[in-house]
Amino acid sequence: MQVIVDVDKNIKRLLQAEDTDNDRKITIEDKGSRRFLLEDSEGKTFEVCGTFQLSVLLQDLYLAKEAGKKEVELTGKQIFLLPVERVSGVIKKYFWDGLTRSIDETNLENALKDSKTSSDKNYVYIPFKDRIAFNYFKSIEKRRKDLNILVIRLPEKLSDEYLNSLNKKPGLLVLALIKSKKGIIKGRPFVVPGGRFNEMYGWDSYFESLGLIEDGRIELALSMAENFFYEIEHYGKILNANRTYYLNRSQPPFLTSMLIELWKNSERKNLNWLKKALNSAIKEYETIWVQSDRLTNTGLSRYYGASSGIPQETEPAHFNQVLKPFAEKNGLSIEVFRNKYLNNEIYEPELEEYFLHDRSVRESGHDTSYRLEGICAHLNTVDLNSLLYKYETDIACFIKNEFKDRFYFNGKTYSSEFWFKLAAKRRKTMVDLMWDKQSGFFFDYNFVTKKRTGYESATTFYPLWANLSSKKQAEILVEKALPLLEEAGGVAASTERSRGPINEQRPARQWDYPYGWAPHQMLIWKGLSDYGYKKHAERLAYKWLYTILRNFVDYNGTIPEKYDVVNRTHKVFAEYGNVGTDFQYITKEGFGWMNASFQIGLKYLSKKLIVKLNELIPPEWIFKNNFRGKR
């Protein structure tokens, strides 16, 4: 059945009848009848029932309004689509495009947006060696006064002093440009996480690329890899993200895993491209992860956020609890102390130590967690060293399988054996220092105190994903660790026991219990499946997708950054709130790696479980819906 309806008229009627809390969304918190008579252009009415179907109706009417349509044709199939199909469909059709950015004249206004900082100008920073980019953006600066940009060329060497000076002029770091045969310059596109995270992030991009590849968008995933190659060449590392306040730190290294997925799914194998890609990966490995600031005396690596001071992407009040005792010691208000500290008028060694650890936490991507707070720079973490083990084995396999066991980089010839030996050494050290057979956990190792931390974290499953666990260790992990971390809505970031008590002086941290995160779920599903625990992976994927779908159905299509997996809700009250929930009528973004986790999670489910997910729509609403028409 197809009907043609007046867009504005029905939006107004629908909101008046069902949006009782006036937030321009239809959710389970509204107190309407959940029964609406949609009126067509001839005055016929068609009954639509249920929170989910009414929210879908609102979304589709609003999409028509945005497209400038006065009337729109709707079908019963469109409005009464089952929830799994609806979620997967909007991710594929709207969300990836809604999250795509590029840094060029056409898209610069959107890319410049940054709610985390404020400046008098929109500063655009160009790497020292990229003359083409400098000339291109300088021409935009002259022509486009409406953008209020100031283009600045970075110095060849980025000293700590210079990086600190950028705190007063935070801005956008450009990424790779493409010049066509006709001389037209465009920025290489990339996907952002969403909301306040309006730039290309390090580890987010790997998980987003998994979703893009699954949805047939491999060219966009390839473009993101090219932007990583650019960052390594021009900024010296894969950046936390492409803003000036991220220049002093990287993020969890997933580049070789990204290359594997791209290579595996590319229809045409281009060895020149792979050579360039592998050069970038080896350069990043050698110049970042095994350099003296990150390689420790154990032979394992650590996260290390260089520079000094307060991380600039945080809200002004974020560190009030930390700054308060130092402000009182100096007889100042917190605000005055913060400003003096930022201007280097006050030096507090203890505070510098705290912020070294805090910046390191942010490099880890797990910002923030009591697992890492106050000690991160002293830890060989399970997650980082599992990732580096995988770098070593991935590089070895590429060299062995694609380059006839000889690869030339920076004047040296590498064999696969060289990299396999590095991996074997790292694995042995990790097992010796991190594996606790009695508890069934891999624990982070504090190389200063020479002890395992004992903090029970979902990162204990990284060794399965990286394929460094023995079969016996995997068996013990599944038997002992998994039951402590598995919750109704998926795997929690930590156990409640390890997190400890939460109170006014010790607030909740978002990478701890009871919160669950998409990257952990995806890594765990794959790790379990690779070790033969496919039923466990299926069960966990079902729980996670149920959580996503339950909130999508009940809250007008919401797909946010994170969930409370104990209560299976997106209503999260940890730091920063929950990105992806602030919208009206319809979200056209979701959240990057959350979108990916839904598309990837479906691959782990049987048809029977997908049918079960669709039963989130109560049968009584399905049968009450009437699209045959009434007078």
pLDDT of 35-55, one tens digit each?
Answer: 999 998 888 888 999 999 999
- Candidates 458, 285, 290; CA nearest to 365 is 458
Taking 50 as the threshold, does the pLDDT of residue 159 lie above it? yes
The active-site residue, picked from 367, 487, 512, 538, is 367
Q: Quote the pLDDT of residue 631.
A: 41
- The CA distance from 454 to 378, in Å, is 14
- The dihedral over CA atoms of 7, 8, 11, 15, expressed in degrees to the nearest 10, equals -170
What number is the average pLDDT over the span 489-504?
97
Cβ atoms of 73 and 4 within 8 Å: the answer is yes
pLDDT (mean) for 89-110 = 97
The pLDDT tens digits for 280-301 are: 999 999 999 999 999 999 999 9
How far apart CA 423 and CA 218 sit, in angstroms, is 29
d(CA 597, CA 510): 18
Of 522 and 505, the structure prediction assigns the larger pLDDT to 522
Dist CA 217 CA 220 (whole Å): 6
Q: How far apart are CA 101 and CA 113, in angstroms?
A: 11
Q: What is the percent of the chain with per-residue pLDDT over 90, rounded to a whole number?
A: 84
367: annotated active-site residue:
yes
pLDDT the model gives residue 108: 96
Report whether pLDDT(178) > 80: yes
For the stretch 13-35, pLDDT in tens is: 999 999 999 999 999 999 999 99
State the CB neighbour count (10 A cutoff) for residue 425.
14
8 A C-beta contact, residue 445 and residue 433: yes
Q: Using 50, 70 and 90 to split pLDDT, how confident is the model at 66?
A: very high
Query: Residue 513 pLDDT > 70, yes or no?
Result: yes
**Choosing from 208, 363, 561, 589, which is the catalytic residue?**
561
CB neighbour list of residue 578: distance below 8 Å, 6 or more residues apart: 560, 561, 562, 570, 571, 572
User: For position 620, what pLDDT does the model report?
Assistant: 60
**Overall pTM surpassing 0.85 (yes/no):** yes
Q: Give the phi and the psi of residue 622 in degrees, each rounded to 5.
A: -60, -45
Segments of 526-599 assigned E as strands: 563-564
- The pLDDT tens digits of the residues spanning 206-222 come to 999 999 999 999 999 99
Average pLDDT, integer, range 470-494: 98
pLDDT of residue 619: 64
Question: Per-residue pLDDT averaged across 357-362, rounded?
Answer: 96
What was the pLDDT predicted at 571?
A: 93
pLDDT of residue 277: 98
The reply to whether 394 belongs to the active site is no
Mean pLDDT estimate for the chain: 94
More confident residue, 628 or 524: 524
Tens digit of each residue's pLDDT (9 = 90 or more) over 315-353: 777 888 889 999 999 999 999 998 888 888 888 899 999
**pLDDT tens digits, one per residue of 225-255:** 999 999 999 999 999 999 999 999 999 999 9
pLDDT exceeds 70 at position 630: no
C-alpha span between 543 and 540 (Å, rounded) = 5
- The pLDDT of residue 628 is 57
DSSP state of 512: S
469 or 340, which is more confident: 469
Confidence bin at 623 (pLDDT 50/70/90) = low
pLDDT range class, residue 621, cuts 50, 70, 90: low
Identity at 382, one-letter amino acid code: V
Indicate the pairing of strand 515-516 with strand 2-6: unpaired
Residue 367 token pair: 């910002």
